[in-house]
Structure 1
Amino acid sequence: MKKSKNTWQLATYQTERLSTIPSMASAVSKKISLFVQSHRKMVDEASLFFIHYQTDLKRLQKLKKNLANYSEQIDIINDYKKEHGKLPLIINQSSTDKYLTQLYRLEQQIKKEYATLQSKIIQQKINRFEALDHLTDNMLDLLSNQRIFSQFLGTIALSTPLPDEEVRCIRNEKYKPIYIAGLAVALFEEIRLTHDFKNPYLKDCMQDMFDDNNASFMALEQNELSNEVMAQYREDVLKPIAKAALLQSIGSYSPQAQAIFSGDRYRMLSVKERSQLIEIVRLKSIDYFKFGIGIPQRKVNTLQEKIEYTQFEQKKLSFMLSFFEKETEDNTELLKLLRIPLIYSSFMVSTKPEFNYKKIYTAYDTLKESALKREIDPLYTKLFLSMVGYFPLGSGIYFISQETNAIEKGIVSSLYPANPHEPICKQITRHQIKSQSQKEVIVSPKTNIFFTQARLNSEFEPEFYELKYKSTYTWNANEVWEVQIPALEFWRKDGTRKVNDQIIVKEY
């Protein structure tokens, strides 16, 4: 039995929105472009916020203090008149009546200035909240099942610039927050299905939320949650996580952080500079959530509803802030959760000046090794690696087709492989000529020439491999994306998968 909800909560959950989630993401590329544009607008606005917010807040505080001083003086004079029947004499003032009139005028002037500045600050907070809320809502529409999520994440990976393109760092910086947020939500869902969270907000929020704990927000094809549960889960749990992930580096656009970058956001920082930057980003990101967004405005019917709404939204805000705070018992799970997508994204959407594409095939082992050293959470890492597999989504592989006995090209097209070393791919050549079907191929290590044993067991000689592939047994699929491989054609799937597991073995 799920918990009963307050009146204001029932109005919050937009179950009618769920019917608009696309069953086929035929325009995912366009959607991602819109996500990136929306996020960049938020970044540009945040840059201005960081310049002005402290001045505005100090000005507001000063006006409030001055207003209180004038009001107090007016009250003292009026109280004296009530008690004594006449106005008091004021030192250095020839006429108390004129002085009182001046006080009233100054009070009204400051009230107007205070109201104008307060209204501006509130409206800007509303605008920021709505921009972030709409972005996370639209993103979660593309995370509602494994198939559309694979297309969402794969499109980002395949759309990143080539290693030697000058715009690579700039464009990847724009894609990166979207990529991280998607992975963070997906990883949270994997953890939620198998483990309970100790975080007070999550425990309270998700208590009795699910009738069936096995029902997944990200099922293979069709979301298994009821509309009411899915809407509540999105609103109270997934959206706050996505928001924190999307804005995990928002503080890097503050003047203090920009000073450390010294005009180059992508240069290698010294240990001292990096340490300073991390602390600045953390503190300024907290300020952005606290003073730049805060608790959203909402109309309620009664004082009790207002109290309940404010209390709950404050808890939600505190939950998002805990992603940026120093580690405690309450937020350790959240920091461990976010750390894994952050590391993985540094391989897939790299903003380093020097970048070797082949490094993406080392991400799996790097995370696995870090988990063994307890640098990242072993349990969370295991779930994450099971989700992404050894061969990253959107990466290119070569495999020996059991149908053609030729070495064909494939692009990893789905997450959640049954075996991390058996990527789910779309085959894009047949007899080494461009060819696509709607069927996916599960490539076993026996036929994937990335693995030494597959090459040794094949009928092709080592000299052939060395001459043709020059010890590079993977390829950059970004080179052909939307040039030779149209996105709509690539992502079209009929739901069937064949297993490529056998090759013609050498005869000795």
Structure 2
Amino acid sequence: MSETVGESRYTKELRTLVSKIHDATPIKDSLYEQTTEYFACQAGEDEKLIQLNSQLQAASQTDSKNAEQRQKKAQSNLKDYQLQLKKGRIERLHNLLKICDQILHLATGKDEQDSQRNCARLLGTLLLITPTENRKVGLFNQRTKHLYKAVLSLLLLERMVADNQISNQYVLKHAEHRIRSPKDKDEASQCPYRNHVLVPLLMTALMQDIGQYHPDAQRILKGPNGDLDEFRVLEKEQRLSLLKISYQQTLSYLKAGLGKNAYVGNSKQERDDFNQNEDEKLKFIFTLLKSSLDPQQSIGNLLKVPQVYTSVVLSTKAIYDYDSLPKAAMVLEKAAEKGALNKIAVDSFVRIVGYFPQGFGVTYIPKDSDRRDLDRYEYAIVTGLYPDNPQIPNCRTATKNLAFTQFGHSLRIGQENNLYYPQARKKLERMSKERLLEILSKLVSNFEERKELDLLPKCWHPYTYFSFAKHQNLWNKKTTKTN
């Protein structure tokens, strides 16, 4: 792979979107940086409001000859400061709404199949642009997980609405007025279901962990002096305190730090309708967050199930085990068995994602034209949602005859030939070490470092392969074969 490393327009767009959500730059303009700033200034702002209110009270209680003037001045100071705070709040809210628009633009297609492919591409690209063998994996995953989780929440909602598994009246009311195939962008932006259900769901999913950036939560994560590893395993008491603070501060931020949008216009009726919609939207956001604590309320699982799944796929733990990514869906199934998650929601979710996450590197034994196993393994990448069987991923091949290719074909890889499963690895165990080393030497760039590794790899890391722009169009339409 001697070509230049680069990024397609889509990959750049997605990377930019991630940095708008969560980044660490001197400009501090991402959603999570703006919130951290808000939390840091909150106590000072509250204090100043108390001070300005006290000044107004003092001015209105005085009998001096310039009392009226002092009162007007104090009233003006308070009003100006309140307007300044409101302006900051509306700006933060609009930033978040703009990002939700961008997500919907990337995730929504002209029909259901197109939307599924767009979501698969989004999720797959997010995993593929994240280094998986780097000591800073936790840091990368921490920034990417919000978008990943939000897209999964969208997919789960669509599935559960289609299967009549949602009983929430607010969702059902707006689902009735959904514009299925909008003629253009303007009509799409007018869709009640999009504006009152999809956007608030995305807002909540993106902001679900925001309370962790409150100073009290950061003290637990990083220690009083800020020198502890935030990705370490916390003691039980610390973890419970963190969860409590994070939840309370997330609610507080959604209410006071973002709140309701402001009506622009002159119609009293329009304003009343607008404000009522904003009240209902905020109520729905709080319902989603509060219900996520109760596994048996299906609406809360729209957040909870993707959150648990994402915590495995884009883990922020100190040790990142790429091989264990296909266990993410099994973690959900076990939690549902124990009653910690809603079984219906988990079944719907696993039906969407299968056992192999989008963008995961699969190693498999190819077959010849007579359906006989060949004496080697090849590389593929998971690229399709809704597998017919959760254990048989929809993939795109990345190598052909042990050479990397940009012209792979779509393939369903069965358990008997997927090296993730022991029965497939057994087939190659009788091959000589020399032959296995020969295969490995053709498939890895740093062979000398790698030759001591497992000669029958359960999976592979496609990060380097995907770092070449010509390998980034894995989701164009191709006929799917079965291996």
Structure 1 residue aligned with 2:388: 418
Q: Please tell me whether residue 301 in structure 1 is matched to residue 260 in structure 2.
A: no
> Is 1:38 matched with 2:20?
yes
Match of 2:417 among 443, 447, 465: 447
CA contact (8 A) 2:297 2:342 kept: no
Letter in 2 for 1:189: E
Determine which of 449, 453, 466 is the counterpart of 1:481. Answer: 466
Match of 1:317 in 2: 282
Q: Deviations over 1:202-232 (max 9, x none)?
A: 23333x2248xxx6x9xxxx99999459832
Which residue among 99, 124, 129 is the counterpart of 1:154? 124
1:64-463 to 2 correspondences below 5 Å: 64=53, 66-67=55-56, 70-71=59-60, 73=61, 99-101=64-66, 103-144=67-108, 145-163=115-133, 165-206=134-175, 208-210=176-178, 227=187, 231-261=191-221, 262=223, 263=226, 264-325=229-290, 332-403=297-368, 405=374, 406-437=376-407, 439-456=409-426, 458=427, 461=430
* Distance (whole Å) between structure 2 residues aligned to residue 470 and residue 37 of structure 1: 38
Corresponding position of 1:504 = none
Q: Structure 1 residues 123 and 230 mapped into 2: Cα distance closer, same or farther (>3 Å)?
A: closer
Task: Specify whether residues 319 and 256 from structure 1 end up closer, same or farther in structure 2 by C-alpha distance, changes over 3 A only.
Answer: same
Q: 2:478 aligns with which of 495, 499, 502?
A: 495
User: Match of 1:354, SS?
Assistant: coil
Distance 1:198 1:305 in 2: 29
What amino acid is the match of 1:34? T
Take 1:69 and 1:199, find their aligned partners in 2: how far apart are those partners?
A: 49
Distance 2:166 2:54 in 1: 44
C-alpha distance in 1, partners of 2:185/2:414?
33
Structure 1 residues 356 and 196, CA, compared in 2 at 3 Å: closer, same or farther? closer
Structure 2 CA distance for aligned equivalents of residues 188 and 244 of structure 1: 13
Q: CA 1:265–1:330 in structure 2 vs 1: closer, same or farther (change >3 Å)? A: closer
What letter is aligned with 2:197?
A: V
- Structure of higher CA gyration radius: 1
Structure 1 gap segments, 5+ residues each: 1-24, 75-95, 501-508
Work out whether residues 425 and 456 of structure 2, in 8 Å CA contact, stay in contact via their aligned partners in 1. no
> How far apart are residue 27 of structure 1 and its match?
2.5
**Using the alignment, how far apart are the partners of 1:381 and 1:397 within structure 2?**
24
Distance 1:173 1:444 in 2: 32
Question: What is the match of residue 9 of structure 1?
Answer: none
Retained in 1: the 8 A contact 2:333–2:346? yes
Q: Deviations over 1:1-44 (max 9, x none)?
A: xxxxxxxxxxxxxxxxxxxxxxxx96221122121221131211
- CA–CA distance in 2 between the matches of 1:416 and 1:226? 30
Q: 1: distance between equivalents of 2:325 and 2:184?
A: 33
Deviation at 1:304, TM superposition (A): 2.8
CA distance in 2, matches of 1:178, 1:360: 18
Contact 1:153 1:179 (8 Å CA) reproduced: yes
The residue identity in structure 1 corresponding to 2:104 is L
Q: Would the aligned equivalents of 2:166 and 2:299 in 1 still touch at CA under 8 Å?
A: no
Q: CA offsets, 1:142-192, max 9 Å, x none?
A: 1111111111110111111223x2322211111011111111111111111
TM-score (norm 1): 0.79
Partner of 1:425: helix, strand, or coil?
A: strand
Q: How far apart are residue 326 of structure 1 and its match?
A: 6.3
Q: Secondary structure at the match of 1:53?
A: helix
Assess, with a 3 A threshold, how the Cα gap between structure 1 residues 225 and 369 changes in structure 2: closer, same or farther. Answer: farther
CA distance in 1, matches of 2:295, 2:342: 16
> CA separation in 2, counterparts of 1:178 and 1:127?
20
C-alpha distance in structure 2 between counterparts of 1:335 and 1:463, whole Å: 53
Q: Which amino acid aligns with 1:119?
A: L
Using the size of structure 2 for normalisation, the TM-score is 0.83
Q: Is 1:183–1:341's contact at 8 Å kept on the other side of the alignment? A: yes
- List gaps (5 residues or longer) in structure 2: 1-6, 23-29, 109-114, 441-453
Structure 2 CA distance for partners of 1:439 and 1:289, relative to 1, 3 Å: same
Structure 1 residues 246 and 442: CA distance shift in structure 2, 3 A: same
User: Does the 8 A contact of 2:309 with 2:328 survive in 1?
Assistant: yes
CA contact (8 A) 1:439 1:494 kept: no
Q: Residue 381 of structure 2 aligns to a residue in which SS?
A: strand
- Percent identical: 25
| One-letter amino acid of the counterpart of residue 48, structure 2 | R
Task: Describe the superposition over 1:342-397 as per-residue Cα deviations: whole angstroms up to 9, x where unpaired.
Answer: 11111211111112211112212222222222221111111111111122211111
SS of the residue 2:65 aligns to? helix
C-alpha contact 1:322 1:331 (8 A) present in aligned 2: no
Contact 2:363 2:380 in 1 (8 A): yes
Q: Identify the residue that residue 86 of structure 1 maps to in structure 2.
A: none
1:29 maps onto 2:11 in alignment? yes
Change in CA separation of 1:327 and 1:369 when aligned onto 2, cut-off 3 Å: closer
Change (3 A) 1:352 1:224: farther
2:123–2:151 contact (8 Å) kept in structure 1 = yes
Q: CA deviation at 1:320?
A: 1.1
Supply the distance in 1 between the matched residues of 2:80 and 2:326 (Cα, whole angstroms): 55
Match of 1:48 in 2: 37
- Please tell me the residue identity of whatever aligns with 1:252: Q
Question: What is the rounded CA distance, in whole Å, between the counterparts of 1:258 and 1:450 in structure 2?
Answer: 38
Local SS of the residue matching 1:376: coil
Q: Which residue of 1 aligns with 2:443?
A: none
In 2: Cα distance, 1:330 partner to 1:356 partner: 27
- In the alignment, residue 481 of structure 2 is paired with which amino acid? K
Q: Distance in 1 between matches of 2:330 and 2:436?
A: 25
CA gap of 1:454–1:168, structure 2 versus 1, over 3 A, is closer
In structure 1, the residue matched to 2:3 is none
**Which range is displaced more, 331-340 or 458-467?**
458-467
